[in-house]
Amino acid sequence: MIVALSLAPAGQPIDGSAPDTGADGAGVADAVALAVTELRASGLPVQTNAMFTNVEGEWDEVMTAVRAAVDVLTRRYPRVSLVLKADIRAGHGGELQGKLDRLERALGRQERPDG
């Protein structure tokens, strides 16, 4: 299965430290980095983009990794938002890259407008 997840903390850090606002004064990059670090530590294939982090593996191992990422944030923040989307397809692995490869092949077959 592949799970796409997005985690975002809400509220002031429980320990009273300054909120993670990043260098530009906005955002949650430091908190997201904590969660992504936890996901990568799972040993599962992980890809992060601007909106989501994708994790691939068997149901129990993926959900264990997601739970660990949530837990690392709930230890610091009073509230955490989790958006989760799953592609459950038994017997298929390597799809994080496989889906991208198929998309690139399809894009290569598209006709380009004259111009």
- Per residue in 82-100, pLDDT (tens digit) is 999 999 988 888 888 888 8
Query: Which pLDDT band holds residue 27 (cuts at 50, 70, 90)?
Result: low
Structure tokens of 108? 């290569």
Q: In the chain, how many domains are there? A: 1
At 75, is the secondary structure helix, strand, or coil? Answer: coil
pLDDT of the residue at 18 = 67
At 74, is the secondary structure helix, strand, or coil? Answer: helix
Element (H, E) at 96: helix 95-109
Give, in degrees to the nearest 5, the angle at Cα 65 between 43 and 13. Answer: 120
Q: Is the pTM of this model over 0.75?
A: yes
Measured in degrees and rounded to the nearest 5, phi and psi for residue 55 equal -130, 135
Assigned domain for 60 exists? yes
Cross-strand partners of 80: 9
Helical residues (DSSP H) of 1-115, grouped into ranges: 29-41, 59-74, 95-109
Domain membership of residue 57 as a residue range: 2-109
What CATH number corresponds to the domain at position 49?
3.30.70.930
